[in-house]
Structures are given as C-alpha cells and as structure tokens.
Amino acid sequence: MLSLQGLLSDKADDDKTCERPSCLKSKFQTTKYCTAHLLFRPAPTSFPVPRLDQSKVRAGMDHIQWTCRPILQEVIRRYNCIIEREMPQGMLVCLDIEFSPSSQKVFEIGVCEFESGKPLVNARVKYNCPKNELHRAPPFHIDNPYLRLISMRTSQKIYHRNQPSDTLLDVHGIATKFREGGITPDTILLVWAKNGQDLELVRKLFDGENNKDYQNILPSKAHCAYMIPDFRRNMPTTPGLSIFPLEIIFNLLFGNHDLADKNHRALSDALQLRLMVKLFIELCKPPEKRQLSLLPRSIEEYFPKLLQCKQEKDHSLTTQQRRDRNRLDDRDRLELNSWTRTVSNPLKRKQRTLDGSVC
C-alpha cells in the first residue's frame, strides 16, 4: 500500500527528516513524511490514471455489448419492476460506508434508492467508547501504525465539528432509518467493492448491540451486488490493474457532473454508484437499444458516435419522456446540494491535531 501510493522513502536510512519542504520533523517509520504530513498530504491523483486508456474505454462502450453476472441480471429485472411500480423502491438500494482500516469500525453510512436516488440513510455512527478504541486493531490482529493513522484521518473528516449534528446517530437510530427506508432481508444492496465487506461491517455494527430485531434488517451476502468485478471485466484497462477507485472511474465517465470530486463521503459515493450502475445497465443492452440520453447530459460527451446515430430518434420522444429526462438531471443536482452543502474539506485547514472528541 505504501509503495503503491509513493509514500516509501527512497533516500538513505540516515536521512530521517521529513521530505516535505521546510519541515524538520522526523519521518514516520520508513515513509517519506512525518506523521502530520503523512496524514494530511494531498490525495494521490496520478497513480491509477495512466493505466486507463480513455480512448479505448469510450470506443469499447460505443459498439460492444457488456455482460453481467446473474446477480446483476436480477438487479436489472428489479429495476424494471420498480419503474413499472410492481415492486417497492426499498428492494434495490445503493450502499456505501466510510470505515476504519485498522479497527474495522464503521464511521459513516450512506444509502439511497437506486431508481429514484432518494437518500434513505445519511448517518455518522455515534460510539460510546474512548476515542483510542475507534482505531485499535481487533483482538488477534496485528496493529498497523499506518492504518491507524489513516483511520484517524478518516475519523477527523467524518466527525469534524462543522458537520450537521442531526446526522450523528447511534446504532438504534441508524437501524430505524433502514427500516423506514423499506430495507428488508429481500433487498439487493449495490456496493462499489470486490466483495461484500461493506455489508458485513454494517451487519457487525448491528449485531454488536445483541438485538435480535436488528439481525432481521439486512439481507444476506448473496443479495449484495458488488460492482467492481463486472466493471473490471467489461472496461478496457491495463492488465494487472489492481486498483479500481470510484473517484477515478466516475470522473472519467461523468467528469462534468456535480457529484464529481465529491468522494469519500458515504452518501456522495452511494449517489455516484447509482449513476455508474445505471450506465452499466444501458451498456448491457445492444448499442442500438441504449438510452444514454436519459443519463445526466455530461455523459453525452463520451459517446458522440452513438448519440449521433440516435439523433434521428430523439424527435420521437414524447413530452412526458422529455420531462422525465430533465427531472433526472434536476433530481441528482438537488440531492447533491441537499446533502453535501455543509461538507467541509479538512485538507484546506492549516492547523490540526491528531486527537479530537468523536465519542
């Protein structure tokens, strides 16, 4: 991880001073920086991008029909049923979490309806424990100092004092939000991951209360549709690409959307995931049957050939269909403004400390 992000020092072992200009503090173990600059350095933006050939990605999407696993075929079926009002919205939702890589504790949960985009859960988890417990590795696990620092950095952003107080909920409040949103064991959860870790961490959070009622809220792992394997299989990338970050892929495909660059907050990531899956569903159709015009308009820049071929069909849209397309754009913009207006960027603050009360 350290090597991938360019944090390992390549200087002589006797040079133990932070490599940040004008900093005289000692390096953190074998990294380039001291603790403060390691935590609050600018986020890496270059390491995954050169491995994505944008021209191949766009050309491949123009004339190749994507394939999907059976779980996503069920997602498509449910999506169509929800559109026809044959199934409640809560049967298909997008889930994202922010959590500690050291302790595996969930810090923030975001859930939205897939078809409508309506936010169901936007909650920061309130813990009644000493603050050092939030970052301590579980029993029988090796304590990784770097992961603990990343955990502290994440918690500072999530539990910043400028965050709205009504989003800080305990487990009972979060479970109530899940129930009110219509989430049941029959729901399919969409996640941007390679496995069902997000779902299992939320389940562990609920099970920690030893409340049997909470054990009947979440679906099984078989109902968790993780999207990275399907995008990796269909999207042309350099062989061996191990990292498939949402912020890179979303900005590649939706670069002009209001949600771009709003990553690493649970609800914003869930809303990005929703658009990614809607795009995936369209790309699973034959090229001549795709309706990319129903997606946010910024996507049109990446599919000029396909849209040019479909211009003759655009005039056939009914007035109601045109209204639906415009309402989709407006709804996504309102969702972002409603939920992210108060989100601050802790990287812009000049002074920080590593401790802070979050419990």
Same domain, 29 and 62: no
Let me know if residue 357 belongs to a domain.
no
Let me know if residue 162 belongs to a domain.
yes
Let me know if residue 348 belongs to a domain.
no
Distance CA 268, CA 250 (A): 12
Residue 77 backbone phi and psi in degrees, to 5: -60, -45
Mean pLDDT over all residues of the chain? 76
Of 268, 33, 1, give the one whose Cα is nearest residue 158. Answer: 268
Same domain, 85 and 167: yes
- The domain total for the chain is 2
Residue scoring higher pLDDT (104 or 210) = 104
Same domain, 184 and 38: no
pLDDT range class, residue 352, cuts 50, 70, 90: very low
Distance CA 253, CA 296 (A): 11
Structure tokens at 232: 């990796």
pLDDT in tens, 157-188: 899 888 898 999 999 999 999 999 999 999 99
Let me know if residue 91 belongs to a domain.
yes
Same domain, 61 and 32: no
Residue scoring higher pLDDT (5 or 46) = 5
Same domain, 118 and 11: no
What per-residue string of b and e applies to 243-261 under the rule 16 or more CB within 10 Å gives b? ebbbbbbbbbbbeebbbbe
pLDDT at position 315 over 60: no
Sign of CA dihedral 305, 308, 309, 313: positive
Sign of CA dihedral 180, 184, 188, 192: positive
* pLDDT for position 295: 67
CB atoms within 10 A of CB 338: 12
Let me know if residue 354 belongs to a domain.
no
Same domain, 33 and 53: no
Q: What angle do CA 296, 300, 305 make, to 5 degrees?
A: 155
* pLDDT for position 290: 84
* pLDDT for position 245: 82
Let me know if residue 358 belongs to a domain.
no
pLDDT in tens, 97-143: 999 999 999 999 999 999 999 999 999 999 988 888 899 988 888 88
Range of the domain at 35: 1-42
DSSP 253: H
| Pick from 145-159, 185-199, 269-283: least confident | 145-159
pLDDT range class, residue 262, cuts 50, 70, 90: confident
pLDDT at position 347 over 70: no
Same domain, 273 and 324: yes
Same domain, 124 and 153: yes
Q: Could you list the beta-strand ranges (E) of the chain.
A: 92-99, 106-113, 119-125, 168-169, 188-191, 224-226
Helix/strand/coil for 225: strand
Tokens 């729901």 belong to residue? 187
179 touches 162 (CB < 8 A): no
The two beta strands, 119-125 and 106-113, are: antiparallel
Q: What is the mean pLDDT of residues 331-336?
A: 43
As to burial, measured by CB atoms within 10 angstroms (0-12 exposed, 13-18 middle, 19+ buried), residue 310 is: middle
Let me know if residue 355 belongs to a domain.
no
* pLDDT for position 39: 55
pLDDT at position 22 over 90: no
Same domain, 20 and 58: no
pLDDT at position 306 over 50: no
pLDDT at position 336 over 70: no
pLDDT at position 345 over 80: no
The CA distances from residue 153 to 38, 160, 252, 359, in Å, are 10, 11, 26, 16
Same domain, 145 and 248: yes
Let me know if residue 352 belongs to a domain.
no
Same domain, 33 and 58: no
Same domain, 98 and 7: no
* pLDDT for position 88: 96
Of 33, 23, 25, 24, give the one whose Cα is nearest residue 2. Answer: 33
CATH number for the domain that contains residue 258: 3.30.420.10
Tell me the percentage of the chain whose pLDDT exceeds 70: 64
Please name the residues in contact with 163: beta carbons below 8 A apart, sequence gap of 6 or more: 124, 342, 343, 344
